[in-house]
Amino acid sequence: MLEAALWGFVGASALVVAAEIAFRFTLSPMVVGLIMAFGVGTLVAAIAFDLVGPAMEGVEEDETWLIPVSLLVGALVFFLGDRLVEGMGSPGRAAAEATGDPDDEAGDSGLGIALGAALDGIPESLVLGMSLASGSGVSVALLAAIWISNFPESLGSSVDMLMAGRSRHWVRGLWLAIAAVSTICAAIGYVLISGSDAIVGAAVQAFAAGALLTMIMDEMAPQAFGRSHLYTGLATTAGFVLALGLTTLE
């Protein structure tokens, strides 16, 4: 259990590391955009190879319907949560719609990406715990993909929240809380969920994939393109290729 919690913390530690970098260095919009685009590529690869693929393999032929349903549930949970975040704080989206300037949406997208990191990180941590309990060990590719994708999520989101007037203490506390929850969930996955039917793990993975894919298209990809423009596709492909290479190490 402690080992599972440790790996859960390692995967989530990128959230805190990236936030500290955002606090200490002034990064140009282009650099932030390229890092976010790179993260989009790693996340898409993680969705395809480490979440949806294993989820499909983890169910019987007559149970495959559960995967698209879980994907849609994950997408819906993120969508509704993101709308809730929109109504909680900054008037970012309203300002963006009024001015036509996507930069006005920065603070709101920061919270949205943080929500995506939580909705994605919690199931992923559960999966990490389950993989240890099953005796198969930690997936190096999945752990690396989680860390690499968490980094630009946190970096871009932290920059946006600081621009929106959030304090460093508030932003740091948010990421520490998400990292702590991810750590606990890895231990829970080891103790409880690993003893359940394989279909439970498949549903959890598909849920994470749905939430993550929706976050990418609603929050991360538009922000990445808005900052890095013509180079977004290249950076995204580079992230995908790196994650693919890590998957082949398995």
Q: Model-level pTM greater than 0.85?
A: no
Asked if residue 29 belongs to a domain, the reply is no
Asked if residue 28 belongs to a domain, the reply is no
pLDDT for 124:
66
- What are the start-end ranges of the E strands in the chain? none
Low-confidence ranges of the chain (pLDDT < 50): 89-107
Collapsing DSSP to helix, strand or coil, 77 comes out as helix
pLDDT for 186:
82
Q: Give the H or E element holding residue 59.
A: none
pLDDT for 152:
77
pLDDT for 176:
92
pLDDT for 137:
60
Please give the residue range of the domain that contains residue 147: 2-22+36-248
pLDDT for 135:
54
Report how many domains make up the chain: 1
Q: Kindly report the CA angle at 30 between 25 and 36, in degrees rounded to 5?
A: 85
Asked if residue 27 belongs to a domain, the reply is no
pLDDT for 71:
93
Q: Which two tokens stand for residue 233?
A: 């596709």
pLDDT for 156:
78
Decide: residue 200, CB within 10 A, 0-12 exposed, 13-18 middle, 19+ buried.
middle
pLDDT for 143:
76
| Amino acid code (one letter) for 97 | E
pLDDT for 73:
92
Asked if residue 30 belongs to a domain, the reply is no
| Amino acid code (one letter) for 219 | E
Q: Which two tokens stand for residue 237?
A: 């492909």
Q: What is the pLDDT of residues 212-249, one digit of tens each?
A: 888 888 878 888 898 888 899 999 999 999 888 877 76
Asked if residue 198 belongs to a domain, the reply is yes
pLDDT for 139:
64
pLDDT for 103:
46
Asked if residue 83 belongs to a domain, the reply is yes
Residue 227, number of CB atoms within 10 A of its CB:
24
Can you state the angle between helices 106-133 and 221-228, rounded to 10 degrees?
130
Asked if residue 163 belongs to a domain, the reply is yes
Asked if residue 182 belongs to a domain, the reply is yes
Distance of CA 1 to the CA centre of its chain: 23
